[in-house]
Each structure stands twice: as C-alpha cells, then as structure tokens.
Amino acid sequence: MITLITSLWRDVLRLLFQRPKRLQVAALCYRGKGDDMEVLLITSRDTGRWIIPKGWPISGLETSEAALQEAWEEAGVRNSKATPQPIGTYTYDKILRAGLPVPVETLVYPVKVKELSAEFPEAGERQRKWMSPEAAADLVKEGELKEILRRMTNLFPQNVQHS
C-alpha cells in the first residue's frame, strides 16, 4: 500500500503541484586563465550566501547582455563582454516575496572582467570576493553551479586566448 501511494505521488500528484521553471541569466565573472584564474562571487541580498550575479531576462536584450547588466548592477563589472552562448545551466528554487518557491533554470554566461568599479547600483547591499574556481565551488549551494565552477580552468586553459 505504501509503495502504491509513493508511486501515485511521484508519478501523478506531484506533477499537479509542480510549477513550470522560470528562466534567469547569470554572469560567471572571471579574470586570468588556467591555474591563475579567479572568479568573482557576490553575496545575496537576503541571506548573505555566496552566489554569482543573476537576474531575470530583460526585454530588448539578448540573454547574454542581460547577464552582463546583472554583473554591472550586482558586482560593478564594467567594460566587459559576455560570451554569446552559455557554458551551462543550473537549477534552484527561488523563494518569492509571498514565500512560495518557484523552480528556476539559470543560463550561465562567462564574463571576462576588464574593469571593476567601486561604485555600482547594489554596492551597499552586497559583498564581493575574488577566489579560485575550486574555492568558489565550495561556497555556492547549487550542485550544478559547483560543477560549472570546477570546470572553469579547463574551459579557459593557460594557452588559449579568450577575448
């Protein structure tokens, strides 16, 4: 009987309550390459946990451009460029103001940082810190983002130029 109830929940009822995933875009900001690479993490405004800059798509902008806009607003990244294609995705549950969780799929765009401004829209609300991709992977919560971070030095090794 318990197996039947578990199966019914897994295969039917859970799907009735499951919300469709919403889309966000994220900027995986980095400098250097190979073993000298560092990535930029920021703190979230609500919980203070370590994340990468991310937000909702912006009307009129490509998703990579929206990720770059988030990098500016949340981390002060300026005069930089995001790759046109994401290097991966990760999912998480975003808790909305009403307290309801919404599943989110996040496209991750690498951004080679050329300039970092001390003054940016959310400067007073967040901390930011450069660290190795491995150290960053240890700090973020999302498993798929951990894997993307651990692959970063392989994506942009020492001998490959990336503009």
Q: What is the pTM of this model?
A: 0.83
User: Tell me: the pLDDT tens digits for 136-146?
Assistant: 999 999 999 99
98-102 LR contacts (CB < 8 Å, sep 24+): 102/19, 102/22
**Concatenated DSSP letters of 45-93:** TTT--EE--EE---TTS-HHHHHHHHHHHHH-EES-EE-SS-SEEEEEE
Dihedral sign of CA atoms 142, 48, 40, 134 in order: negative
**19-155 under CATH 3.90.79.10, yes or no:** yes
User: Tell me: the pLDDT tens digits for 75-121?
Assistant: 999 999 999 999 999 999 988 888 888 899 999 999 999 999 999 99
User: Tell me: the pLDDT tens digits for 31-83?
Assistant: 998 889 999 999 999 889 999 999 999 999 999 999 999 999 999 999 999 99
Domain boundaries defined on the chain: 19-155
Amino acid in the structure at residue 61: L
